[in-house]
Structure 1
Amino acid sequence: MKSSRLLTPLAIAVSAVVASFANAETSTQPLYTIEVTAPIPLGSGVFSQPVPSIQASPTSDGGDLLRAINGVSGSRMGGRGIDPVIRGQSQNQLNVILDGAFLYGGCPNRMDPPTTYASPATFDRVTLIKGNRDVIYGPGGSGGTVLFERVRPVFFADKQTRGEISAAYTGNSDTTQLAADLAAGTEEGYVRFIAGHTGAGNYKDGSSRTIRSSFESESYALLAGLKVADSTWLEASVEQANEKDVLFPGAGMDSPYSDSTTYRLKLDHVTQGGVIERVRAEIYRAEVDHLMDNFSLRNQTAPMAMRAPTNSDTSGARLLFDSHLSSTDIQWGLDYQKNNRNASAIIGKGPMKGRVTGIQWPDVNLEQTGLFAQLTHVLTERDLLQAGARYDHVSAKAGRANETFTGGMLNGQTPNDLFGANAKNRSSENNLSGFLSWIHKLDEQYRVETTVSRSVRTSDATERYIAMGNWRGNPSLDPEKHHQLELVLASETSDLSWSLAGYYNRVDDYILRKNNRYSNITAEIYGAEADLVWQMTPNLQFSNGIAWVRGKNRDDNSNLSQIPPLTATLGLTYQQDALTAGLDWLIAAKQDKVCLAGTSCGGQDSRKTSGYDVVNAHLAYQLNPAFTLSAGVNNLLDKTYANHLNREDVFGNNTQVNEPGRSGWVKLTTRF
């Protein structure tokens, strides 16, 4: 992968922006029509905001951005690749959808979770649906659904081009970021080009220790839309996101490259009367190629030089219908996705070079076909009922499960030999999910919400089929069944809004990773969240978020590992004319409810984590209608700390990676 892939089109984009200033008036109109809501649609469990309003400071990837939302945490392995955790659930317990497409990373150890390929500067809006309260975005999603969305641009007769360009610099890691978003069109169609580049060095923690965290990333997308009829739009896009020389202090390997290409085609048709009011059809394909090794980007310290080339290719489609009957809105349809994953561990140097010592993904095909329906029904002027149900047929197949290892300690064996009695090259499931929500308005200020749900998550390619030394999958795993109850009390007035939410999740056949083996257990996850936004004066706003979650193994009463601690965030924002200033204070309690690696519990927690608090400050000033200058300091007091969450690498190591120390940043954004 070469940086020139992006720098040439990005340079063209920058030149176009600069040239446009000579002939075009600046405009305060936004590039896209995005409805700005309150910071949190309080009590609904749904957060939906334009990307710039979520976090002031530059972010390394989509997972880093999500951590700014109450109830969301993330595990760090390096400078990017933050893997989000929502209400104590992670990985495939979350549905992450990038502009309509599912994308599954290429690393079995999740160096590249799907959010890695979501560069925040290239998306318009992020929507987070906590828990299971929706069935139209695919199977599973017991922890929540994250939508990185792009909005169709709107043009006017007197202005048929729009653009935005930004440049940012962060001092601690010597990180430079450049992004451009250009669009041209009319009411009949449009073309949009988006590009971004980030180059980051190693950062230092609060004790001035250098953390191996450098990386280079680039992304660009070309989108086109055509109004083929008065009420019909056809849209197509191609997007590429590439990473180069990504260092991971929290893993035994680094990533020389990780590249993805995503193709999308969408049809949106509004009917003229009838039972069906709107039809949306979407198809996509996402291809990921990834390489990790332990020698090309570091001085080899492992006993053997290893490399692991992998690929993860996902194809999918969705057909969604909107209907309205009397006082009921209905969304119904079907969806399909197929993911193929292939990965091998190969000796990288010496006389045994090229020998296969492990097969992380033995040509795994995982197919899911779903039928769903969801309705919203107005019972009375104070009562709203929402309900949904879906059926999913799942099939899994491993094409290389009988392939023989040619080197290392497993020489002469096959993945099925490692699986033993659990060996199964093919399997299928029929899963039923659904939810029921009742929203009751007590009066003009208060409302209560109750949601009960069942969601079913099938085991992924790693849990089923990984065959790496001591890390072994279980092809006979049953799917997880999550049964959740959530209660909410919310209040909204003109200057004060708050919500309190409590939830309980009983999980049958929870897929537990214990001592690098997978089995089904009975578990429970429960917690509470509080959100508050108070407009203290016309210029001063106070916000507060609190999140607490616990996870228990009901079979032996041990703690589930990788559960975030109690956290609280307090924010103070001042706005006066063109000036905005803010102060955020993040507080995390100690986490001693752990399941430590290397003990009889056999979890992934590396240690008990002390509590910490961090202060971030930011400032923005709109110089004129076209330019905004912003700056700030993260970790203002230069604290040394690490988030409790970590990941276990292919060698069985658990490492907490410290967060950056004091980091000053500056960003210039221009819009035309």
Structure 2
Amino acid sequence: MKNTLTRTLLCSVAFLPSLAQAQSETTFDLAPILVYGGFLPTTLDATGATIEVVDSEDLKQGGASVADALAVLPGVSLSANGGLGTRSSIRVRGLDGTYLGVRIDGIEVTDPSSTQTSFNFGTLTSGTLDRVTLIKGTQSALYGSDAIAGLIDVQTWRPTQDGASGRATLEYGSFNTRTATSSVGFRDDRVELAFSLSRVVTDGFSARASDTEDDGFEQSTANLFAAYQLTDAVRVGVSGLWSDGTSDFDRSASNSSGSTDEVRSGLRVFTEVTQGAWEHEFSLSAYRNDRFDAGGFTQEFIGDRLKAAYVGRVDLSTASALAFGIDWTEERASLDGTEFEASNTAAFAEIKLSPRDDLELSANLRYDDFSDFEGQFSGRAALAWDATDATTVRASFGTGYRAPSLYERFGPYSGPVLEPETSRSFDLGVEHRMGDTATLRATAFYIEIDNLIEYSTATSSYAQVPGTTVSKGLELSGNYSFSDRLSFTGNYTYTLGESDGARLARVPRHELSLAADFDVTDRLSTVLRATHVADVVDGFGTLTPLADYTVVDLSAQYDLTDRTNAYVTLRNLTDETYETVRGYNTSGRALYVGIQADF
């Protein structure tokens, strides 16, 4: 059966580089196991952390919004201030986007000039993307600050066959939404080249529930990836991204005239060198986020990041491998022309051990030397143990931190001297496989954060919150193949998020997602999904409950030829009225139709 549902992979952090931007993206098919190329690679059977993978078919079902495709994953929720283009935050295990690292083709794309260093998923469209990977759990020992909840790694379209190839997509739907995407590439034994363009325009719907005018969005996007094998020992490459968009939003209940122009641009170059048993990787990346809000208290936000990195790798034996490296990062923020900056130098190491065929151990240690704070150590240890041929036990423990953003420290609402937040996290999971028919997974997680930084109404500034913030819960997921044509998947997440005994805002206590994938014929496939969210509180100051809701989506795809398909997606089939942020609308019933051709 052609599976168009989100696939869940459980992978060890050991297979990831200490610097994602220092890696080229390679995918290997090894029998039935899918392994993502990277630092200290491992197989799917030898894993210590939870990975969720959303492929191009899953992204197609989610429409233009990547956030909608991510929101159905276990342990993930979405808080959106309206429709496509508005401010949207992905929460992982109860923690918002402030604690989530985001990279596109190895380029770190969180905004150094935003209120809290984070990425706006409301403006990430799916047209040029091939795969989105979510790595859950603290990744500070690998990636430093802003990765307490995990990391989202995005890969744009790449050619999958030798020679010239490409993909083109056209889509039209509700709210006068138009999407056009074109990707072209070339691949042989020495060259890999991919270039993609996308354009999205929508009239949208009113962001706030208090008025009725449409809040539109338009954005153009371009992505580039190129790599060349200079010699048998040396490979060089470059990746680049650019987007230019305008988002309408409602500034307040009485002012619906808000509009933001935003340009994102990034470039990364890398060199990979192999010398005997050693592998070396060198990279340099630059990123800029330029955002302008003509009616804002602060109008111009410009964030810049420059990063240089080295990673070395060596297999010590058939059962052990070692990685180590250094990186340097400089971040700048310009707020209405006033500039601030900070830098960080880090050293890290990673080791992987397989003392027995049924056991894999990995450990990471990182030290960050900030220009304005005391140094921070972070570590992580993980194991995967095959208790039986059908059952695998996984566990990990890690420490992490989040450095205060430049805006929190120097912006118009800066206050007392801020120190980095610190965290500790633990998860324990069990996976049981029943042949090729079914798989069941259960993962318990616990995260605690000290020195939380929040806006204080008492001081009208950002300040450290006394006490400890805790997010803990349980993720359950599974799949069952009833036949070659019919399969079912589902996941449930229970999350309890509290700060000094008070509940965290916008964290669902209960999330349930169920889906059925039915191949009606060899050419026609359908997916029916229902998502239920319950027990959420929100508000500014006093938190009150949001209404529980259930959203049903239906999608169908018909293969016109082996390389061309037509598809239709019906979102919110029952026209449910609901909120993920108090006072802001979500989409009613919406229909989208499209055609996609590979060549």
TM-score (norm 1): 0.76
The whole-number CA distance in structure 1 between the counterparts of 2:298 and 2:184 is 39
C-alpha distance 623-134 of structure 1, shift in aligned 2 (>3 A)? farther
C-alpha distance 374-325 of structure 1, shift in aligned 2 (>3 A)? same
Provide Cα deviations, 1:384-432, integer angstroms capped at 9, x if missing partner. 211111001112xxxxxxxxxxxxxxxxxxxxxxxxxxxxxxx322001
Counterpart of 2:425 in structure 1 is 484
Matched, 1:585 2:530: yes
Counterpart of 2:80 in structure 1 is 76
Deviation at 1:97, TM superposition (A): 1.2
Q: Secondary structure at the match of 2:143?
A: coil
Provide Cα deviations, 1:588-633, integer angstroms capped at 9, x if missing partner. 11224x6x4244xxxxx5x421111011000011110121111020
The whole-number CA distance in structure 1 between the counterparts of 2:160 and 2:59 is 25
Q: Secondary structure at the match of 2:69?
A: helix
Matched, 1:228 2:230: yes
Task: Assess if the C-alpha contact under 8 Å between 1:552 and 1:559 holds in 2.
Answer: yes
**What amino acid does structure 1 have at the position aligned with 2:258?**
D
Matched, 1:328 2:273: no
Q: Secondary structure at the match of 1:65?
A: helix
The whole-number CA distance in structure 2 between the counterparts of 1:97 and 1:523 is 26
Q: Secondary structure at the match of 1:193?
A: strand
Matched, 1:505 2:447: yes
The whole-number CA distance in structure 2 between the counterparts of 1:206 and 1:587 is 22
Q: Secondary structure at the match of 2:98?
A: helix
Q: Secondary structure at the match of 1:53?
A: helix
| Residue from 528, 536, 540 that aligns with 2:482 | 536
- State the Cα RMSD in Å: 2.9
Counterpart of 2:299 in structure 1 is 308
C-alpha distance 65-314 of structure 1, shift in aligned 2 (>3 A)? farther
The whole-number CA distance in structure 2 between the counterparts of 1:118 and 1:322 is 33
**What amino acid does structure 2 have at the position aligned with 1:218?**
S
Provide Cα deviations, 1:255-309, integer angstroms capped at 9, x if missing partner. 34111211111222333x23x2x22222111112111133xxxxxxxxxx86601
Counterpart of 1:52 in structure 2 is 56
| Residue from 332, 335, 344 that aligns with 1:368 | 344
The whole-number CA distance in structure 2 between the counterparts of 1:76 and 1:206 is 11
**What amino acid does structure 1 have at the position aligned with 2:126?**
P
Counterpart of 1:148 in structure 2 is 154
Task: Assess if the C-alpha contact under 8 Å between 1:591 and 1:611 holds in 2.
Answer: yes
The whole-number CA distance in structure 1 between the counterparts of 2:273 and 2:522 is 41
Counterpart of 1:570 in structure 2 is 514
The whole-number CA distance in structure 1 between the counterparts of 2:541 and 2:348 is 43
**What amino acid does structure 2 have at the position aligned with 1:478?**
E
Provide Cα deviations, 1:461-517, integer angstroms capped at 9, x if missing partner. 2322221xxxx2235122111111211121123211111111112222222333253
C-alpha distance 289-126 of structure 1, shift in aligned 2 (>3 A)? same
Q: Secondary structure at the match of 1:135?
A: helix
The whole-number CA distance in structure 2 between the counterparts of 1:105 and 1:476 is 22
Task: Assess if the C-alpha contact under 8 Å between 1:121 and 1:179 holds in 2.
Answer: yes
Counterpart of 1:649 in structure 2 is none
Counterpart of 1:451 in structure 2 is 396
Q: Which consecutive unaligned segments of at least 5 residues does structure 2 have?
A: 1-25, 37-43
Deviation at 1:118, TM superposition (A): 4.1
Matched, 1:103 2:40: no
**What amino acid does structure 2 have at the position aligned with 1:561?**
A
Task: Assess if the C-alpha contact under 8 Å between 1:627 and 1:671 holds in 2.
Answer: yes
C-alpha distance 389-140 of structure 1, shift in aligned 2 (>3 A)? farther
Counterpart of 2:287 in structure 1 is 286
Deviation at 1:204, TM superposition (A): 6.8
Deviation at 1:233, TM superposition (A): 1.8
Q: Within 5 A, what are the aligned runs for 1:102-251?
A: 102-105=108-111, 108=114, 113-115=119-121, 118-132=124-138, 135-150=141-156, 153=159, 155-156=161-162, 160-171=163-174, 173-203=175-205, 210=212, 212-248=214-250
C-alpha distance 211-572 of structure 1, shift in aligned 2 (>3 A)? farther
Between 456-465 and 55-64, the greater mean CA deviation after superposition: 55-64
The whole-number CA distance in structure 2 between the counterparts of 1:449 and 1:455 is 20
Deviation at 1:362, TM superposition (A): 4.7
Task: Assess if the C-alpha contact under 8 Å between 1:95 and 1:138 holds in 2.
Answer: no
**What amino acid does structure 1 have at the position aligned with 2:469?**
A
Q: Which consecutive unaligned segments of at least 5 residues does structure 1 have?
A: 1-31, 295-304, 345-360, 396-426, 600-604, 647-654
Counterpart of 2:380 in structure 1 is 435
Deviation at 1:185, TM superposition (A): 4.5
Counterpart of 2:334 in structure 1 is 342
Deviation at 1:241, TM superposition (A): 0.4
C-alpha distance 190-548 of structure 1, shift in aligned 2 (>3 A)? same
Q: Secondary structure at the match of 1:136?
A: helix
The whole-number CA distance in structure 2 between the counterparts of 1:234 and 1:628 is 35
The whole-number CA distance in structure 2 between the counterparts of 1:393 and 1:539 is 55
The whole-number CA distance in structure 2 between the counterparts of 1:640 and 1:37 is 41
Q: Secondary structure at the match of 2:153?
A: strand
Matched, 1:394 2:381: no
C-alpha distance 513-46 of structure 1, shift in aligned 2 (>3 A)? same
Task: Assess if the C-alpha contact under 8 Å between 2:250 and 2:258 holds in 1.
Answer: yes
Between 45-54 and 496-505, the greater mean CA deviation after superposition: 45-54
| Residue from 660, 664, 672 that aligns with 2:591 | 664
C-alpha distance 366-111 of structure 1, shift in aligned 2 (>3 A)? closer
Q: Within 5 A, what are the aligned runs for 1:266-277?
A: 266-271=270-275, 273-274=276-277, 276=278
**What amino acid does structure 2 have at the position aligned with 1:69?**
L
The whole-number CA distance in structure 2 between the counterparts of 1:639 and 1:146 is 29
The whole-number CA distance in structure 1 between the counterparts of 2:234 and 2:242 is 27
The whole-number CA distance in structure 1 between the counterparts of 2:28 and 2:250 is 37
Q: Secondary structure at the match of 2:503?
A: coil
The structure with more strand, counted as a fraction of residues: 2
Q: Secondary structure at the match of 1:121?
A: coil
Give the share of equivalent positions with the same residue, in percent: 19
Task: Assess if the C-alpha contact under 8 Å between 1:542 and 1:572 holds in 2.
Answer: yes
Task: Assess if the C-alpha contact under 8 Å between 2:82 and 2:585 holds in 1.
Answer: no
The whole-number CA distance in structure 1 between the counterparts of 2:169 and 2:204 is 23
Deviation at 1:147, TM superposition (A): 0.6
Q: How many residues align?
A: 553
Task: Assess if the C-alpha contact under 8 Å between 2:115 and 2:405 holds in 1.
Answer: no
Task: Assess if the C-alpha contact under 8 Å between 2:49 and 2:382 holds in 1.
Answer: no
**What amino acid does structure 2 have at the position aligned with 1:181?**
S
